[in-house]
Chains A and B, each alone.
Chain A
Amino acid sequence: MAEPALAVRALEAGYVRGVPILRGVGFDLAAGEILAVLGPNGAGKSTLVRTIAGLVPRFAGEIRLAGASLADLPPHRVVAAGFAYVPQVANVFAELTVDENLALGGYTLKRGRAERAARVFELFPDLVAKRQAKAGRLSGGQRQMVAIARALMVEPRVLALDEPSAGLAPIVVEQVFAMIRRVARSGVAVLVVEQNVRAALATADRALVLAEGVERLSGPAGDVAANAAIAEIYLGGAPAGASP
């Protein structure tokens, strides 16, 4: 079997040593696949992607990108290895132009930055007219597109998005998820953390549901959507299979 684009095993991580937020999370993600990471507030979803990105200390477990370990690399080396991350808030450089945001997205590229930017702009035709505009002056949807475009500059193997739908109007959410599907079709493995369970499950191939830092449910998106346990997890109910 081919090496997964991203393999995470028994990951424990948190901000303070001895206080793990993630307590043993693992999954495989194949090229072109979309994995939705779901769960109630405080489940550790954002911590999971931030740990892979190198922003949160890892205590135990493995993170492998196409077979090579990412564990303990500083964030800028994780990007260079092929993992691009779009944070939930403040995910564009608001005081920089769209062009400059993309140039910084391609910071690790030694050459061909302009050519790469031209290819990325083909995916985001609406942004072309805004190239010289400061990212902070764009609409929420456009900003999200700039954030994704910035992340795609490095031609990542894996793209991780933290709540790409947060704060956006429903029609814009649909556009963002259409873009995520398009990126996945080009062969990029996509990890998407979401509160918007419905939109995420409609888009993802598979889903991983976390609660209190551990996996509670995982499988094909359709199965997870049909599983009655998901409502209980969100409502803080008993673990699946432990109902009275």
Chain B
Amino acid sequence: MTLAIWLQSILDGLVIGATVSLGAIGITLTYAILRFANFAHGEFITWGGYFALAVLGAVAGSQDLKALLGGPFEPFSFGWPLIVATLASILAASALALILDAIYFRRLRRAKIAIASVIGAFGAALVLRNLVVLGYGADPEYFSREIQIAIRFGPGLRITPDQIALVGVTALLVVSLHLFLTRTQMGRAMRGVRENPDLASVSGIDVAAVIRATWVIGASLAAVAGVLIGLTIQLRPSIGFDLLLPLFAAAVLGGIGSIYGAVLGGLVIGVSESLAVMLIGPEYRAAISFGMLFLILLVRPQGILGVRA
């Protein structure tokens, strides 16, 4: 029985870690390509979740749309409405990121004062979070109030169908991103700009277009993370902010700038938090990201998969 509890805890950690990974990829990309630590990135997750909630609400309010899109795919709690809502949320979050960059972040970067960028991004995060509170209030929201029956497997382990979907979607996105970065010209261009923006521009790469692509990818992954959190836990205006430290811890301990480091870092953070809740109690959950970050950076300052500069 004890083994099953440990394994269950690790499994729960991997599920949570998967969403952390999706968010951390965006942070590591914007940092690597723009040299910008985006402390507002968590808000893309929050907004992504609430964008999807808005679309789901619109679908639920329209008999025609409900009939068109149909009910959930058993055994999952979601169906076409959530898929449509996710796609809409990806578009909306990308637009939000591009607009924020055009009117705000770009100016902060041009000022070339690191602390201004950091505090400025924090400010943007506060505004974005409170806009959500203004629109939806601070109470939690749910995509579906149905109780899902967990699937039992192995030595008494439980996982819900929605959690399996979460892990599957995350894996699919990570593999797709890998293929995008290694097999497409835009992906190679992103890696080129990350390493040397001047050389990229004299190779004929439109660096501004690459920066826009970076925002779209980061915001899209964050939007999906927001939807997955809404699907498997609940939406609150503070989810992005609460995730911010785990996200940065994941990106940094994985090796800032490394996509795979961010994924690994997210999983490490998720599992550590989950095990910590069991070993030392839930009140220390938030400290765990920092503890892990601290431990790993002591041993390996460049992060697990990072390259020494």
The answer to whether A and B come from one shared complex is yes
Q: Which of B78-86, B164-172, B184-192 is found at the contact surface with chain A?
A: B184-192
Report the Cα distance A95→B192, complex, angstroms. Answer: 8
B204 touches which one: A90, A95, A96, A108 (CB < 8 A)?
Answer: A108
Contact B196 A80 (CB under 8 A): no
User: Could you tell me if A55 and B202 are in contact, using CB atoms closer than 8 angstroms?
Assistant: yes
> Does B205 contact A95, Cβ atoms closer than 8 Å?
no
Query: B198-211 toward A: CB 8 Å interface, digit per residue (1/0)?
Result: 11111111110000
Interface size on A, residues (CB 8 A): 28
Interface status of A5 (Cβ within 8 A of chain B): no
Q: Does A93 interact with chain B (Cβ within 8 Å)?
A: yes
Q: Are A93 and B195 in contact (CB under 8 A)?
A: yes
> For window 72-101 of chain A, which residues contact chain B by CB distance below 8 Å?
74-76, 78-80, 84-85, 87, 90-96, 100
> Contact at B189–A96, with CB atoms within 8 Å?
no
A6, chain B: closest CB distance, angstroms: 16
Nearest B-chain residue to A83, judged by Cβ: B202
Asked if B202 and A85 sit within 8 Å, CB to CB, the answer is yes
Q: How many Å lie between the Cα of A91 and that of B196 in the bound state?
A: 9
Pair B201/A93 contact, Cβ less than 8 Å: no
Nearest Cβ on chain A to B214's Cβ, whole angstroms? 16
Question: Is A150 touching B203 in the complex (CB atoms < 8 A)?
Answer: yes
Inter-subunit contact B205/A55 (CB<8 Å): no
CA distance A87 to B199 in the complex (A): 8
Structural contact, A96 and B201, CB atoms closer than 8 A: no
- Cβ–Cβ < 8 Å partners of A94 in chain B: 195
Partner of A87, one of B191, B198, B207: B198
Most buried by A among B188, B201, B204: B204
CB distance from B32 to the nearest CB of A (A): 11
Q: How far is the CA of A105 from the CA of B205 in the complex (A)?
A: 9
A87 touches B201 (CB 8 A): no
Given A103-B188, A104-B188, is A76 in contact with B204 using a C-beta cutoff of 8 Å? yes
Partner of B200, one of A53, A103, A104: A104
A107, CB-defined interface residue at 8 Å: yes
Say which residue of B196, B198, B203 sits within 8 Å of A105 (CB atoms).
B203
Residues 103-116 of chain A, each 1 if its beta carbon lies under 8 Å from chain B, else 0: 11111100000000
Q: Which applies to chain B's interface (DSSP): helix, strand, loop or mixed?
A: helix
Taking CB atoms, residues of chain B closer than 8 Å to A154 are 204
CB proximity of B238 to chain A, nearest CB, Å: 37
Evaluate contact between B202 and A93: CB separation under 8 angstroms. no
Contact check, B196 vs A93: say whether CB atoms are below 8 A apart: yes
B205 neighbours in A (Cβ, 8 Å):
76, 104, 107
| Cα A105 to Cα B200 with chains together (Å) | 9
Contacts known (A79-B202, A85-B202, A87-B199); A93 close to B207, Cβ less than 8 A: no
Asked if B191 and A93 sit within 8 Å, CB to CB, the answer is yes
Quick check: B199 and A107 within 8 Å, CB to CB? no
Q: Known: A76-B207, A100-B188, A107-B185. Contact between A55 and B201, CB under 8 A?
A: yes
Residues of A within 8 A of B204 (CB): 76, 79-80, 105-108, 154
Q: How far is the CA of A93 from the CA of B187 in the complex (A)?
A: 14
Q: How far is the CA of A90 from the CA of B204 in the complex (A)?
A: 16
CA of A87 to CA of B204, assembled, Å: 14
- Which residue of chain B has the shortest Cβ distance to A53 in the bound complex? B202
- Are B203 and A79 in contact, with the CB atoms below 8 A? yes
**Across the interface, do B192 and A96 meet the contact criterion of CB distance under 8 Å?**
yes
Residues of A within 8 A of B200 (CB): 93, 104
> B145: shortest Cβ distance to chain A, in Å?
48
Task: Give bound CA distance, A76 to B204, whole Å.
Answer: 4
Q: Which B residues contact A (CB, under 8 angstroms)?
A: 185, 188-189, 191-192, 195-196, 198-207, 307
Additional 13 contacts, C-beta under 8 A, given A76-B203, A95-B191: A54-B202, A55-B201, A76-B205, A76-B207, A79-B202, A80-B204, A90-B196, A93-B200, A96-B188, A100-B188, A103-B188, A107-B204, A107-B205
Q: List 28 A-B contacts (CB under 8 A).
A: A54-B201, A54-B202, A74-B201, A75-B198, A75-B201, A75-B202, A76-B201, A76-B206, A78-B202, A79-B202, A79-B203, A79-B204, A85-B202, A92-B199, A93-B191, A93-B200, A94-B195, A95-B195, A96-B188, A96-B192, A100-B188, A100-B191, A103-B188, A104-B192, A106-B204, A107-B189, A108-B204, A150-B203
